[in-house]
Amino acid sequence: MATTGRQAATMHEEDAFEVLARLKLLEQTLTQPPVFRAESASRPLVYGYVRSVTYRPRYVEACRRALERYCRKEKLSLCGVFTDHGIPADRVVRPGLTGLCDVLRLPDSFAAVMVRAEHLSSDEQIAKLLAEQVRATGARLLFVRPHSTCAELPASGVAALPGSGAYAGLPQWWQ
């Protein structure tokens, strides 16, 4: 079946309209801010960190779930969890922690969240040094579970704001 010149012109016009419609949709998609930026107005963006001395994927997954529960309860948006496997407490250079500090420098980042302070280090001096690296990004540091040296909840019984120290269970060296 042969097409006439008029039919061919109509088909090219339809193709052109389809291309223009696709270009317009692409332009709209590219000019809209990413979803996580739109959420940042209602929920602060946080990133998790888990360190394991040995390779224990189940432990890391359990910690990730604890971070997710904490963030859901505190109305925080957990954007990702950085991990270091096989990293002893005395090592200062850590790929996962370096990645965490990199994203914490982004303008929408609010805090780093960890299950316990021991995920930084069980050695107090090294923990202080690593905490200072996190602090240098301008982000807060939150801990899900209290440590034996944690600050107590306020006497009034009212929970403090996330990241204030008392509610987040910050260790004494962080106060």
Domain with 101 in it: 42-174
Per-residue model confidence as pLDDT tens digits over 109-118: 999 999 998 8
Is there a domain that residue 141 lies in?
yes
pLDDT at 1: 55
Among 133, 161, 144, which Cα is nearest to 69's?
A: 144
User: Are 22 and 69 members of one domain?
Assistant: no
Query: Please, which residues have CB within 8 angstroms of residue 142's CB and are 6 or more apart in sequence?
Result: 46, 70, 111, 112, 113, 114, 162, 163, 168
Is there a domain that residue 37 lies in?
no
Q: Which amino acid is at 27?
A: E
For residue 48, what are the β-bridge partners? 81, 113
Q: Position of tokens 């000019």?
A: 31
Is there a domain that residue 90 lies in?
yes
Per-residue model confidence as pLDDT tens digits over 126-169: 999 999 999 899 999 999 986 543 333 333 333 344 444 443 44
pLDDT at 139: 93
User: Are 10 and 61 members of one domain?
Assistant: no
8 Å CB contact between 110 and 44: yes
Is there a domain that residue 161 lies in?
yes
User: Are 91 and 14 members of one domain?
Assistant: no
Per-residue model confidence as pLDDT tens digits over 4-20: 655 555 556 667 778 88
Handedness of CA 94, 53, 88, 173 (dihedral sign): positive
Please state the rounded mean pLDDT for residues 59-79.
Answer: 94
Query: In which band, very low, low, confident or very high, does the pLDDT at 98 lie, cut at 50, 70 and 90?
Result: very high
pLDDT at 51: 94
Please state the rounded mean pLDDT for residues 71-90.
Answer: 92
